[in-house]
Amino acid sequence: MIVVGYGSRGRAVIRALSESGVQKRAIVVIDPRAEAVAEANAAGLAAVAGDGTRSEVLREAKIGSARQVVIAVRRAFLRRFRDRPCLLRFIVRGGR
């Protein structure tokens, strides 16, 4: 599972996943902020630094083997995904 964004939304998603039995080793975080990647690593999560809309970043996060991708970012970021072909089904709940 990939979680794009390790801000308050991403952390809430990961907390909910952990509480439902998903193991941390099954989660990869993508975030462009170095401090967020360091915090994710310190919390026992694999993390990739970069823009979650970039193909090379998604490949580094092993998107080919991901069963789910959670986009836990601001609505403005979601616009970047609009014109990208994708084989994954996205379920999005946007915030401000």
**Residue spans per domain, the chain:** 2-81
Write out pLDDT tens, residues 34-66. Answer: 999 999 999 999 999 999 888 899 999 999 888
pTM of the full structure: 0.80
For residue 46, the cross-strand partners are: 28
- Residue 75: pLDDT band (50, 70, 90) is low
Fold of 2-81: Rossmann fold (3.40.50)
Asked if the model's pLDDT at residue 25 lies above 90, the reply is yes
Q: Of 15, 76, 84, which Cα lies nearest the Cα of 3? A: 15
The confidence score (pLDDT) of residue 87 equals: 47
Task: Count the alpha carbons within 13 Å of 61 in the hemisphere toward its beta carbon.
Answer: 32
